[in-house]
Amino acid sequence: MSDQYAALRSNVGLLGQMLGQTIAQALGDSALAKVESIRQLAKTSRGGDEQAREALISELQSLSDDELLLVVRAFNQFLNLANVAEQYHTVSRSGNQGFCELDPLKQTLLRLKQSHVQEHTIKEAIARLDINLVLTAHPTEVTRRTLINKHVQLSDCLNLLELGDLLPQEQQKLHARMRQLIAQAWHTDEIRQQRPTPLDEAKWGYAVIENSLWQAVPEYVRELDETLTQELGVGLASDAKPVRFTSWMGGDRDGNPFVTSSVTQSVLDHGRWMALDLYIKDINLLISELSMFACDDALAKQAEGAHEPYRAVLKQLREKLTLTHEYLEAKITEQSPRGENIITDITQITDVLKACERSLEANNMTIIAQGQLRDTLIRCRCFGLQLSQLDIRQDSDRHAQVLGELTEYLGLGDYCQWDEQGKQEFLKAELASKRPLLPRNWQPSEQSQEVLDTFKVIAQNRAENFGIYIISMARQASDVLAVKLLLQEAGCQFNMPVAPLFETLDDLNRAPEVMQALYSDDVYRQHLGTHQYVMIGYSDSAKDAGMMAAGWAQYSAMESLVQLSEEQGVELVLFHGRGGTVGRGGAPAAQALRSQPPGSLKNGLRVTEQGEMIRFKFGLASVAKQSLHLYASAVLEGNLLPPPEPEPKWRDVMAKISDASCQHYRATVRENPEFVPYFRSATPEQELGKLPLGSRPSKRNPNGGVESLRAIPWIFAWSQNRLMLPAWLGAYQGLGAAISEYGEHTLQLMSQQWPFFRTRLEMLEMVFCKADSWLSAHYDQHLVAPQLQHFGERLRQELAQSVALIKELSPEHTLLGHQPWVRESIALRNPYTDPLNVLQVELLKRARTNSSQALDKALMVTMAGIAAGMRNTG
């Protein structure tokens, strides 16, 4: 590792040394010596020493069950501490001297000026800046919240150490605190005892806002405003909210029977309760600070002549906030009613704050108005009264089921059996009708009643509480019209945006046709609202057709939808359902945005932040602020310096790659009868159910096979055995077919001139740095039946061919040569991850013949540790 990473290496070493001291104190020097021996063997093995590798395997296989758990826990903790050091390094002084772009926005504005983009055009784009980050609870965050809190405190300690100028006793005190935190983590159970409920997941999302984003967002908005003022002479508008947050936690009921209408209402109540709690703290701080007596007439009147008018009006506001907080707490805890439901709209807070602001500015106290008061106003704009708006998601079949039961009750036949034209005619007629559709005495099935109850919850709340309604597996225009009708029948008084989610390859290809049918219909246009949202599914399309084919289908669908919407005069917002891993559309945010079709960011960015990526991007305030700056700069660049449209020939090349890669991917995954038994033996897919990750079941159909497995555990399982199959399967065949027909030079030209194609290749480079053939072979050798082992051998041969081809197409003829930080990051964790992989094999082997509670616990810890080592697992 080069000198620019010396500080990172030093911090990893310091934290590892402290963990070693903890292990020795807890279990004795002999336990530490065994762990250290294994670590050294793993490091030597990773360097290519075959003898060390055999010794490592032999050492690990000889461990007793109790020793297995010790070693597994040690390496899991090592990886978590390495991640703490790495995350801190990204925002540390030493890190900024290495790989970080110090001010991505300034760099973007400089590029815009150098490209002769007019200042008024830049200002218009900034005025339209709208970044909506959607926090989801997909089950890949394996680290418990109590451990995350300790890791955040460790990061704070590293920051204090780097600031320097500490007296010897101060440094000793800081080191003692770090050892305490590491000891606390060691003596804490890494694995949850129970699966989190949807409400637990929502609370986790709110905790991220409270612990990090609440501080980061005002700082980000201030810095954004200052940079724009310095560079362009004009800052953000006073009502600007360049970033806002939405959540799926407690609203995503697709395949999750635990997300009910009552859970959704409870999550809404908890969100407002927690927001009020945070605003009360802010108001208390303002009361302590705003002791001034001079004010304007309006504030004097509001304060009823009080000598300290600012404090007087803020105390009035605090009283209303407190009463509402008490009301919600009683409702949440199902206690006797108390308090009053007074604060129901964010303007009830901002009106008071703005009155204080105007008065301060009118009395030459602008410097005071620009302090804590401004921060609280920024929070009101960006977080609202819910902290995050709540999206609702449901499968299209559930809506059809409701309508099918209804039409049968009415003697009209089964809606589900009608053709698309018949469905649309019925839905449009009912949308235009002024009479109710739902009979008073009709009793639907329990499932359908739950769907209807969800629509009632929407209707009983305010529009500001919600984001959009997403329809999973949307295939026809009727899927969208059905939701509009059910919202209308529930008595919803606001026009909730409805977004079809196009997930499979066929659905993506048909997306423009479906939207054309909606846009051309007068009834739908009356219900459309100001924006049309369309969600692009990265996960299921990649699971359906492979990463290369899915990527081109996503690009083509977005390109066609942008063009269609512009022709129809509709403001389209594309919602990107990306995951953290490459197999689910994951890529560095800025890189991914720059590779999208021109015009796709015109009306803002809406993107999911999933699983453990929420913690890695937003878990620390300083990291969160940096992530927000990267998003803002990438969106501005995407709008003002859009990537070039692909040449016609390049489209032909991508069509060839897509067809060939998809054919091979599906032939392997769907058509080969050996695939399923191989998959289930070579990965811990079946054992994943024991790991209490998220509230949602891992399968849509509990009795189904691989086809019913969700995209996330599908990816997670393959990352555990280091084959990383879904992220690259079919790429070699696709690229090879294109080279045969168009020549390698054409692909190299595409890589140089087309960000979309370059990003595909870079994503593969990252995957190949994480994949490991010898570990995959080790899984096969000990877990796969002899008659199936040839299947794994063939896949690893294909992996080797794919790596060689990608290196050939890379400008540096190596993997991640232009992204040394990512490569070094992976290398940093490998010596800690390798032993966990070998141990997982041994544990799977033992657990599959003679399972026990101790083995299951150790196995779950290996899953958590490998996930920490792989980072973007979901």
Catalytic-residue membership of 138: yes
From CA 537, how far away is CA 472, in angstroms rounded? 9
From CA 766, how far away is CA 821, in angstroms rounded? 11
From CA 665, how far away is CA 542, in angstroms rounded? 10
And the tokens for 595?
């590779």
Is the Cβ–Cβ distance between 236 and 224 less than 8 Å? yes
In 172-270, DSSP assigns E strands to 243-247
625: alpha, beta or left? (left if phi > 0; alpha if psi -120 to 50): alpha
Which residues, 6 or more positions from 611, have their beta carbon under 8 angstroms from its beta carbon? Answer: 136, 137, 138, 139, 140, 141, 579, 580, 712, 873, 874
From CA 267, how far away is CA 247, in angstroms rounded? 10
Q: In angstroms, how far is the first alpha carbon of the chain from the final one?
A: 28
From CA 244, how far away is CA 174, in angstroms rounded? 36
> Considering 203, 428, 543, 625, which one is annotated as catalytic?
543
Phi, psi of 233 (to 5 degrees): 80, 5
In the block, residue with structure tokens 């009006």: 313
Is the Cβ–Cβ distance between 59 and 44 less than 8 Å? no
Which residues, 6 or more positions from 503, have their beta carbon under 8 angstroms from its beta carbon? Answer: 472, 473, 537, 539, 540, 541, 544
Cα dihedral across residues 717, 720, 725, 728: positive or negative: positive
Give the CA radius of gyration of the chain.
28
And the tokens for 820?
């040394």
Which residues, 6 or more positions from 802, have their beta carbon under 8 angstroms from its beta carbon? Answer: 728, 731, 732, 764, 768
In the block, residue with structure tokens 């360097």: 47
Burial class (CB within 10 angstroms; exposed 0-12, middle 13-18, buried 19+) of 459: middle
In the block, residue with structure tokens 């294109």: 738
Which residues, 6 or more positions from 758, have their beta carbon under 8 angstroms from its beta carbon? Answer: 595, 750, 751, 752
Q: Find the helix or strand (DSSP H, E) in which 198 lies.
A: helix 198-208
Please give the angle made by the CA atoms of 645, 649 and 653, to the nearest 5 degrees. 100
> Considering 138, 527, 656, 857, which one is annotated as catalytic?
138
DSSP assignment letter at 252: B
From CA 465, how far away is CA 387, in angstroms rounded? 9
Please give the angle made by the CA atoms of 551, 556 and 562, to the nearest 5 degrees. 125
Which residues, 6 or more positions from 412, have their beta carbon under 8 angstroms from its beta carbon? Answer: 426
Is the Cβ–Cβ distance between 678 and 686 less than 8 Å? no
Catalytic-residue membership of 543: yes
From CA 572, how far away is CA 593, in angstroms rounded? 16
From CA 78, how far away is CA 714, in angstroms rounded? 26
Q: Do strands 131-136 and 243-247 pair parallel, antiparallel, or not at all (unpaired)?
A: parallel
Phi, psi of 446 (to 5 degrees): -60, -40
Is the Cβ–Cβ distance between 11 and 81 less than 8 Å? no
Which residues carry out catalysis? 138, 543
